[in-house]
């Protein structure tokens, strides 16, 4: 008998993966958590039925959500990750020896503990001594923080359920305050392709744009996310990711990355016309 998992990307579109085993299921205080094993994507987990991380394509998301910022300001030392319970963003950040402190605020401890058990490569650096884990709502965590971080990464779920607050004006305003005067905010910015996610990405862009003097969007191809065409937001108080790009400095770090590279750094900000048009609608 064949077993298939389907992620409902819209009311009319599903992505289905053939599954070898459905080996974990539980409901935390916040969401339904499931782990599966496949031939094509290795192990993966879902929250409330949405694919979060697969072993095969997680490198794309985690490279892009971290390295673009570090190659724009290679002096980043204090980082806050909001969400990111699988540990992939922290793993990439921990490769920079000069980063001094990484705070990670994940609302759901069970996500962290299950990823440590079932996705040990992704979660491998959550035990790095520079990392402090906080199990609380990211929305609350940033409320009283001022002038603390060089970089905030919003590695959240979609704006439904516990992730909803991480797409609000209040949250972005508090992130702005929590950042130092040259701080950078990178957020997962949904997909532009289907109306449902495109609507959310335009709303997020409109809010961030009002706060940050520099507000750009970059893209990557992530096969298991809606339509495969995924966006990230880059908002900053000082550094422009293209004009201030520190190519040579970043290359001297000597990191071997599987998706990110310094040609792609420039290329990922070159958006298709329909995406540019959507963002311009917001800008007008």
CA angle, residues 95, 98, 103, in degrees to nearest 5: 75
- Non-local (6+) Cβ contacts of 248 within 8 A are none
Q: Is 162 or 183 the residue whose CB approaches ligand SAM more closely?
A: 162
| In the complex, least distance from residue 223 CB atom to ligand SAM, rounded to whole angstroms | 13
| In the complex, least distance from residue 85 CB atom to ligand SAM, rounded to whole angstroms | 3
CA angle, residues 280, 281, 284, in degrees to nearest 5: 80
What order of strands is seen across the sheet that includes strand 131-134? 131-134, 101-105, 78-83, 149-155, 179-188, 229-236, 214-221
Applying CB under 6 A, the residues found at the interface with ligand SAM are 47, 52-53, 61, 82-86, 105-108, 111, 137-139, 155-157, 162-163, 165-166, 188
- Phi and psi (nearest 5°) for 18? -75, 130
| In the complex, least distance from residue 240 CB atom to ligand SAM, rounded to whole angstroms | 25
Quick one: which of 205, 140, 206 has its CA closest to 174?
Answer: 140
Q: Is 204 or 214 the residue whose CB approaches ligand SAM more closely?
A: 204
How many C-beta neighbours within 10 Å does residue 29 have? 9
Question: Please, are residues 236 and 186 in contact by the beta-carbon 8 Å criterion?
Answer: no
Residue nearest to ligand SAM (CB): 83
Q: Is 88 or 183 the residue whose CB approaches ligand SAM more closely?
A: 88
Question: Where in the sequence numbering do the catalytic residues fall?
Answer: 155
């Amino acid at each position: 008998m064949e077993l298939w998992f389907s992620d409902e990307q819209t009311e009319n579109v599903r992505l289905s993966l053939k599954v070898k085993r459905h080996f974990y299921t539980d409901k935390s205080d916040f969401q339904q958590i499931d782990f599966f094993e496949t031939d094509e994507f290795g192990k993966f987990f879902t929250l409330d039925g949405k694919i979060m991380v697969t072993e095969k394509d997680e490198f794309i998301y985690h490279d892009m959500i971290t390295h673009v910022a570090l190659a724009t300001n290679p002096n980043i030392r204090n980082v806050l990750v909001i969400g990111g319970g699988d540990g992939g963003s922290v793993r990439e950040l921990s490769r920079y020896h000069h980063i001094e402190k990484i705070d990670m605020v994940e609302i759901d401890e069970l996500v962290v503990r299950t990823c440590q058990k079932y996705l040990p490569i992704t979660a491998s650096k959550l035990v790095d001594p520079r990392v402090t884990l906080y199990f609380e709502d990211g929305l609350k965590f940033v409320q009283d923080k001022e002038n603390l971080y060089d970089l905030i990464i919003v590695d959240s779920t979609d704006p439904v359920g516990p992730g909803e607050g991480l797409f609000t004006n209040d949250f972005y305003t508090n992130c702005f305050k929590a950042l130092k005067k040259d701080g950078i905010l990178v957020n997962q910015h949904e997909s532009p392709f289907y109306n449902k996610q495109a609507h959310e990405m335009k709303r997020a862009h409109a809010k961030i744009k009002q706060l940050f003097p520099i507000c750009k969007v970059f893209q990557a191809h992530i096969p298991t996310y809606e339509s495969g065409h995924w966006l990230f937001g880059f908002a900053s108080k000082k550094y422009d990711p293209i004009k201030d790009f520190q190519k040579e400095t970043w290359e001297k770090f000597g990191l071997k990355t599987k998706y990110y590279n310094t040609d792609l750094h420039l290329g990922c900000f070159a958006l298709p016309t329909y995406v540019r048009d959507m963002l311009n609608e917001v800008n007008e």
